[in-house]
């Protein structure tokens, strides 16, 4: 009997087949149907009835394979001697999953190969099992460093980094430019590595709603998760343990929160945390928390203030703003263009009462009718490329193209103009993107001031963010603040604050 079959009998049972099949189905949906892994995967895990450990295995296998897709394709091409576009797409996805088990997770070679061959059979690729077996054995025969040397041979500059760290070259170049704007050219490799890390869930404790008991329970959950994570690492070398943790976790997962309302280190299903299931704690990256708090806490809130979240979907920042507004006696209007996302905003804001209103429509309409309604604080969390959240939404790196940037930048500018039209005298505007691309960040700020410098002044955003943060957010002095995952463990959120002077 062949070694793969023997290995499968020893180490591969129905539970692992189920976890791998979940990962395969999600990967196929991402590739074929433009699905979002973060939305589809939890549903598939629940439908499969996976245990917590197998759910963690399926999650790492799915996200890791998507993050490292470019690198694995280069390796598979060399190992197979074929161009990637000459490999059937479903077979290629099976091998991507196998490659991640071999190179990105501590799964023993014989177990990873035999289980992946079995997965090929399960998904109907019977004729390709020999091919999958041969290719993955070649993949497993070399170390990470050896493969890096082979796939980057003859490459240099951003092309080399793009291949090594599995990012499109244009994204690497954009990130390099953004770091250079801060004179931080030597941080690019660390940033790319952080994009490929496996982030833990971060929570926001909603002010005025979350109780000390909620926070304590969540912190205990995080501590237990860290202890379990350490135990998994200690047993990862055991060949009978397939559901091992990723080789590269988030370097900042054990750091204290950078947001004053943040809790980090949660693993598994956050709904198991009592405060989350009750809605008093919300799943939200701490970078997003700081962006919302930079607006709400940039100055003392006067009772009766009117606030506007111009692009509110899916409602995470809106919920934090609503909690902040309620404490200060302000009201919030949350606007969203897409009806389905507006429904998510309504769900996120349920329970806040008459202090919040959700409206639907294009944010660019504000101020066009001359109705005279103005707002004291406006959050514009603008549609963008999402290059700042590649670790949490890894498929974005493969979907976005450089030609998308000008169209998004034009939309951002129009939304900014609408915000200025309805910003009250003395009011504050927060321009936020989950992208460090200069065309979506500093370029937009410069263009906005060129258009509206007569009525707007830039605030010392870096100082505001530092004053809000629970610890040093590591942003240079200036009128804008760019957060970075490799520095503080948040998404790469960009924040710029403005005040209307006339």
| Cα distance between residue 283 and residue 131, in whole Å | 42
Contacts of residue 451, defined as CB under 8 A and 6 or more positions apart, other chains included, come to 417
| Cα distance between residue 401 and residue 399, in whole Å | 7
Helix (H, G, I), strand (E, B) or coil at 370: coil
| Cα distance between residue 344 and residue 315, in whole Å | 6
| Cα distance between residue 233 and residue 235, in whole Å | 5
Write the secondary structure of 112-176 as one string of H (helix), E (strand) and C (coil): HHHHHHHHHHHCCCHHHHHHHHHHHHHHHCCCHHHHHHHHCCCCCHHHHHHHHHCCCHHHHHHHH
The DSSP bridge partners found for residue 198 are 249
Structure letter (DSSP) for residue 378: E
384 catalytically annotated: no
Q: Which of 132, 168, 231, 84 has its CA nearest to residue 403? A: 168
What phi and psi values does residue 307 have, to the nearest 5 degrees? Answer: -115, 150
Q: Which of 476, 469, 480 has its CA nearest to residue 435? A: 480
| Cα distance between residue 15 and residue 23, in whole Å | 13
Contact 400/34 with Cβ under 8 angstroms? no
Q: Which of 243, 247, 315 has its CA nearest to residue 279? A: 315
Structure letter (DSSP) for residue 360: E
Other CB atoms closer than 10 Å to residue 35's CB: what's the count?
Answer: 17
Two tokens, residue 149: 């040397």
Catalytic residue among 434, 438, 469, 483: 434
- Positions annotated as catalytic residues are 434
């Amino acid at each position: 009997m062949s070694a793969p079959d023997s290995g499968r009998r020893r180490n591969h049972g129905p539970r692992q087949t189920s976890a791998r099949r979940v990962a395969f189905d999600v990967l196929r949906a991402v590739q074929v149907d433009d699905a979002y892994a973060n939305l589809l995967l939890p549903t598939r895990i629940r439908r499969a009835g996976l245990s917590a450990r197998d759910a963690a295995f399926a999650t790492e296998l799915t996200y890791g394979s998507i993050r490292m897709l470019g690198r694995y394709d280069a390796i598979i091409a060399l190992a197979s001697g074929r161009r990637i576009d000459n490999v059937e797409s479903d077979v290629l996805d099976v091998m991507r999953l196998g490659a991640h088990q071999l190179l990105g997770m501590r799964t023993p070679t014989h177990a990873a190969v035999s289980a992946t061959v079995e997965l090929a059979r399960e998904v109907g690729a019977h004729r390709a099992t020999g091919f999958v077996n041969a290719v993955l054995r070649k993949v497993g025969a070399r170390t990470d460093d050896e493969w890096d040397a082979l796939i980057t041979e003859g490459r240099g500059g951003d092309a080399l980094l793009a291949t090594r760290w599995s990012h499109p070259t244009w994204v690497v170049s954009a990130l390099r430019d953004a770091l250079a704007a801060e004179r931080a050219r030597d941080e690019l490799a660390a940033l790319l590595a952080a994009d490929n890390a496996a982030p833990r869930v971060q929570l926001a404790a909603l002010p005025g709603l979350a109780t000390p008991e909620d926070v304590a329970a969540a912190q205990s959950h995080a501590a237990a998760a860290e202890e379990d994570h350490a135990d998994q690492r200690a047993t990862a070398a055991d060949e009978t343990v397939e559901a091992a943790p990723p080789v590269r976790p988030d370097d900042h997962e054990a750091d204290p929160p950078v947001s004053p309302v943040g809790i980090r280190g949660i693993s598994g299903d956050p709904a198991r945390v009592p405060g989350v299931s009750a809605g008093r704690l919300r799943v939200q990256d701490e970078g997003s928390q700081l962006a919302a708090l930079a607006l709400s806490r940039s100055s003392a809130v006067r009772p009766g203030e009117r606030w506007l979240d111009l692009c509110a979907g899916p409602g995470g920042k809106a919920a934090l703003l609503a909690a902040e507004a309620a404490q200060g006696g302000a009201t919030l209007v949350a606007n969203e263009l897409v009806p389905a996302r507006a429904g998510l905003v309504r769900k996120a804001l349920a329970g806040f009462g008459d202090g919040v209103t959700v409206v639907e429509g294009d944010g660019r309409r504000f101020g066009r009718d001359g109705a005279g309604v103005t707002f004291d604080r406006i959050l514009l969390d603008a549609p963008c490329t999402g290059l700042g959240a590649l670790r949490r939404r890894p498929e974005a790196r493969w979907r976005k193209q450089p030609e998308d940037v000008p169209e998004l930048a034009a939309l951002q500018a129009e939304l900014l103009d609408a915000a200025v039209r309805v910003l009250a005298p003395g009011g504050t505007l927060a321009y936020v993107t989950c992208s460090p691309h200069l065309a979506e960040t500093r370029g937009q700020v410069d263009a906005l001031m060129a258009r509206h410098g007569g009525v707007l002044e830039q605030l010392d955003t870096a100082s505001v963010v530092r004053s809000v943060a629970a610890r040093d957010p590591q942003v240079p002095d200036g009128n804008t603040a760019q957060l970075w995952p490799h520095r503080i463990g948040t998404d790469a959120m960009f924040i710029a604050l403005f005040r209307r002077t006339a």
